[in-house]
Chain A
Amino acid sequence: MIVRMAKIEIAGPKELLLDVLALVQELGLFQVEPEPGGFVEAGVEAKVRPLVPDEQVVAERLFLENLGSGIAGVLAALPRPAVGTSPLDPRAALEVVAAAVGGHGAWCREQEERLAALRRERDELQRHAVIVEALDRLLAGVSLGEGVDCIGLVLREPAAVERLRWLVANGTGGASELLTAVAADGTTVCLIVTVRERGARLRELLGAEHLPELELPAAFADLPFPERIRRLRGRLAEAAAEMAAIEGTLADFARTWGGAYLRAREWVENRLSLLRLTARVHETLMCFVIHGWMPAAGVPGLEGELAARFGGRVVVEEKALREQDLQRIPVALKNPPYFQPFELFSRMLPLPRYTSYDPTPFIGVFFPLFFGMILGDAGHGTVLLLASLAALRIWPGRPAVRDAARILLVSSLSAIVFGFAYGEFFGELGGTLFGLRPLIVERRTAIVSMLWFSLAVGTVHVTLGLFLGFLSAVRRHTGKEALFRLTTIAAILCLALLVVSLFQLFPRNLARPAIIALVALVPLLLATGGFIAPLEFLRTVGNILSYARIMAIGLASVLLASMANTLAGMTGDIVTGIIVAGLLHTVNLVLGVFSPTIQSLRLHYVEFFSKFLEHGGRAFDPFRKSRTDKEEESWKRH
């Protein structure tokens, strides 16, 4: 349902403005309107002007904006899971934080910079570590004496090993050994072990062949090869320990100060939003004036609170709604618990205008009905019922899943009811096993009857949509449109009467008066709807025919179920038959969830809502406090 809104003006002495705004923020029910047009009576517009903030407000705003950015800087540096909660009152937290934020900010920045430098170093060392590990494996098989020199190399092409082997053999006169290994990242790592006096010559040869020795970070460049590996590993361990120490320090800091900073940030943000809101307030010579919207049901509560806190110095006036207000009244939707899950579907549509209707209750009533009419199988309905109950039990804390499961629950009950009406339990299995017989109609054989039934449902649904469109037009005082909707309803009913008479469902002699009435309505249609009226009328007829999908999709579903049972019977084996029937019924069940859902929604969105729903509403966005509690909880869950 669309919540009824009241047009409100709050006025009081200027010195109470911030306190009144704080109360409004606390209640969280009031949306401030920045433009006074439509709120201020004609003749007094000149006396009401935008409020000019005093120096104190401007100074407070600057201070809080500065403090807010300081707090944001500190919180950005803190590890989230470690942030604790604070028992401090936000105002007390603010005083403590305001005194400490400068020093804490500088310290946090310093820690962050050190951490970033260590991470860069670690990443660089880790890149080398992969190669070093491969070299280490090679070194394990080498006896390193005084006169031995080692040269490490990385080859991009494994095929170059043979060329390198030849080069090493020729360059050292055979006084060397080439060892190769494949590193963890797939690169080929080579270790040349030679006598110390041949080492320099060999490096020259390798440089000429564009095979430079493996370069480690500058701090390790001058060390002997085995020492380099040891120092590299040592430095990696040191860097990791230093990082862990800094992270631990930051985590300790976050546990001690994080909660206070979060509380302070919440207070600062709320106070800043309040100070910023003063730009939407107006003033007269002595008073402030706040214009806006709030749910009509909340007005007595606001009046009571203002009277209790300010003793009649602040007044609330509910203004009369004017024609031009209807386009800008904000829209809030509130539905009874049964309909709330169906808001999942209505949220897919743009917000309706205030003068229109909330589509949720209509979906809540007709969606399960159409779903049941299309699926119409007690067996499939029972499986879906159990699935929805399981989903509600497994994911109770996920709102979208919970809503979808509740919709499925209602829809599956509808499918069970229609299943008994059609006499279907996994197709004709119910009839074979338990002697289940259709209570109303058997879909497989009564195809034409089901077609008429579907079209009758479509006629009722579309006519209801047209009638709601008529009411909506009356509410907007657009008489011509209202008359056009009414004429279309009359024409549709005449056409329906004509069709059922011609097909002898009603006495045939009703056809003539129906034709005469239809012809008589044509000029009225043209007069109220213009030259496009016949096309509109044909579109409406097409919309009604579209409801034949209820029968068509349902027939496909029942035939698939029947096919599953037939194929299972043809296997001639109980176990194979159960497997085949189970698989095919599962496929049918999956189709049976998606197809009726999409088709039912389509019937609502395209055929039904197009007749009356006006989109383009402005969402109700009341001025209220932001909460840190939820953020604290989400941080703790990390």
Chain B
Amino acid sequence: MEKALIALAAALAIGLSALATAWAQSRIGSAGAGTIAEKPELTATVIIMVAIPETMVILGFVVATMILYR
């Protein structure tokens, strides 16, 4: 039972943060696509902006790792 709860906690840590990242990236991505259509020279900036929310899932991953390997 304890193992199952640990696994669930790790899954929630990474799953919820992944959902949050996905939502943020969807908003930034759609705005970024519009930006690139108008100003192609901002492509690099947009790629970086899209990558920024990934910190959330990385932090979730760190927490999940700590839960599983503590």
Q: Considering the complex, give the chain B residue whose CB is closest to the CB of A550.
A: B58
B58 touches A552 (CB 8 A): yes
Q: Considering the complex, give the chain B residue whose CB is closest to the CB of A556.
A: B61
Q: Which of chain B's residues have a CB closer than 8 A to the CB of A548? A: 58-59, 61-62
A599 touches B69 (CB 8 A): no
Q: Which of chain B's residues have a CB closer than 8 A to the CB of A606? A: 48, 52
Contact of B35 with A by CB under 8 A = no
Per-position binary interface string of chain A over residues 575-612, scored 1 when its CB falls under 8 Å from any chain B CB and 0 otherwise:
00000000000000000000000110110011000000
A605 touches B69 (CB 8 A): no
Contact of B31 with A by CB under 8 A = no
Q: Known: A448-B65, A546-B58. Contact between A348 and B44, CB under 8 A?
A: yes
B45 touches A348 (CB 8 A): yes
Interface pairs (13), CB distance under 8 Å: A348-B44, A451-B62, A542-B55, A545-B58, A546-B59, A548-B58, A548-B61, A549-B54, A552-B61, A601-B48, A602-B52, A606-B48, A606-B52
Per-position binary interface string of chain B over residues 52-70, scored 1 when its CB falls under 8 Å from any chain A CB and 0 otherwise:
1011001101100100010
Q: Considering the complex, give the chain B residue whose CB is closest to the CB of A603.
A: B51
Q: Please list the residues of chain B having a beta carbon within 8 angstroms of any beta carbon in chain A.
A: 44-45, 47-48, 51-52, 54-55, 58-59, 61-62, 65, 69
A602 touches B48 (CB 8 A): yes
Q: Which of A348, A447, A602 contacts B65 (CB 8 A)?
A: A447
A164 to B47, CA, bound (A): 63
A546 touches B69 (CB 8 A): no
A93 to B45, CA, bound (A): 47
Taking the closest CB of chain B, its distance from the CB of A544, in whole angstroms, is 11
B65 touches A451 (CB 8 A): yes
B45 touches A549 (CB 8 A): no
A489 to B14, CA, bound (A): 30
A448 to B64, CA, bound (A): 11
A261 to B56, CA, bound (A): 62
Q: Which of chain A's residues have a CB closer than 8 A to the CB of B48? A: 598, 601-602, 605-606
A523 to B41, CA, bound (A): 44
Q: Which 9 A-B pairs have the closest CB atoms?
A: A348-B44, A602-B51, A549-B58, A448-B69, A548-B62, A546-B55, A552-B61, A548-B58, A605-B48
Main secondary structure of the interface of B (DSSP, over half): helix
A546 to B44, CA, bound (A): 20
A348 to B41, CA, bound (A): 9
Per-position binary interface string of chain A over residues 213-245, scored 1 when its CB falls under 8 Å from any chain B CB and 0 otherwise:
000000000000000000000000000000000
Taking the closest CB of chain B, its distance from the CB of A299, in whole angstroms, is 35
Taking the closest CB of chain A, its distance from the CB of B12, in whole angstroms, is 17
A506 to B55, CA, bound (A): 27
A545 to B62, CA, bound (A): 8
Q: Which of chain A's residues have a CB closer than 8 A to the CB of B69? A: 447-448
Per-position binary interface string of chain A over residues 94-108, scored 1 when its CB falls under 8 Å from any chain B CB and 0 otherwise:
000000000000000
B51 touches A545 (CB 8 A): no
Q: Which of chain A's residues have a CB closer than 8 A to the CB of B59? A: 542, 545-546, 548
Q: Considering the complex, give the chain B residue whose CB is closest to the CB of A597.
A: B47
Residue in A552, A599, A601 with the greatest tally of chain B CB atoms within 10 Å = A552
Known contacts A548-B58, A602-B54; 5 additional CB pairs below 8 A are A546-B55, A598-B47, A598-B48, A599-B51, A606-B52
Q: Which of chain B's residues have a CB closer than 8 A to the CB of A598? A: 47-48, 51
A598 to B52, CA, bound (A): 11
A140 to B12, CA, bound (A): 81
Q: Which of chain B's residues have a CB closer than 8 A to the CB of A546? A: 55, 58-59
A602 to B48, CA, bound (A): 6
A548 to B44, CA, bound (A): 23
A552 to B58, CA, bound (A): 7
Within 8 A of B (CB), among A604-626: 605-606
Q: Which of chain A's residues have a CB closer than 8 A to the CB of B44? A: 348
Q: Which of chain A's residues have a CB closer than 8 A to the CB of B55? A: 542, 545-546
Q: Which of chain B's residues have a CB closer than 8 A to the CB of A447? A: 65, 69
A549 to B52, CA, bound (A): 12
Q: Which of chain A's residues have a CB closer than 8 A to the CB of B62? A: 451, 545, 548
Q: Which of chain A's residues have a CB closer than 8 A to the CB of B51? A: 598-599, 602
Q: Which of chain B's residues have a CB closer than 8 A to the CB of A599? A: 51, 54
Q: Which of chain B's residues have a CB closer than 8 A to the CB of A605? A: 48
Taking the closest CB of chain A, its distance from the CB of B6, in whole angstroms, is 15
Q: Considering the complex, give the chain A residue whose CB is closest to the CB of B42.
A: A348
Q: Considering the complex, give the chain A residue whose CB is closest to the CB of B69.
A: A448
A447 to B55, CA, bound (A): 18
Q: Which of chain B's residues have a CB closer than 8 A to the CB of A451? A: 62, 65
Q: Which of chain A's residues have a CB closer than 8 A to the CB of B47? A: 598
Q: Considering the complex, give the chain B residue whose CB is closest to the CB of A348.
A: B44
A33 to B35, CA, bound (A): 35
Q: Considering the complex, give the chain A residue whose CB is closest to the CB of B51.
A: A602
Taking the closest CB of chain B, its distance from the CB of A339, in whole angstroms, is 19
A546 to B56, CA, bound (A): 9
Q: Considering the complex, give the chain A residue whose CB is closest to the CB of B68.
A: A447
A448 to B47, CA, bound (A): 29
A584 to B55, CA, bound (A): 27
A451 to B65, CA, bound (A): 9
Residue in B52, B58, B61, B65 with the greatest tally of chain A CB atoms within 10 Å = B58
A183 to B47, CA, bound (A): 50
Within 8 A of B (CB), among A448-505: 448, 451
A545 to B58, CA, bound (A): 8
A548 to B51, CA, bound (A): 14
A546 to B51, CA, bound (A): 11
Q: Which of chain B's residues have a CB closer than 8 A to the CB of A348? A: 44-45
A348 to B61, CA, bound (A): 30
Per-position binary interface string of chain A over residues 548-567, scored 1 when its CB falls under 8 Å from any chain B CB and 0 otherwise:
11001000000000000000
Q: Which of chain B's residues have a CB closer than 8 A to the CB of A552? A: 58, 61
A552 to B56, CA, bound (A): 13
Taking the closest CB of chain B, its distance from the CB of A418, in whole angstroms, is 20
Within 8 A of B (CB), among A496-552: 542, 545-546, 548-549, 552
A548 to B54, CA, bound (A): 11
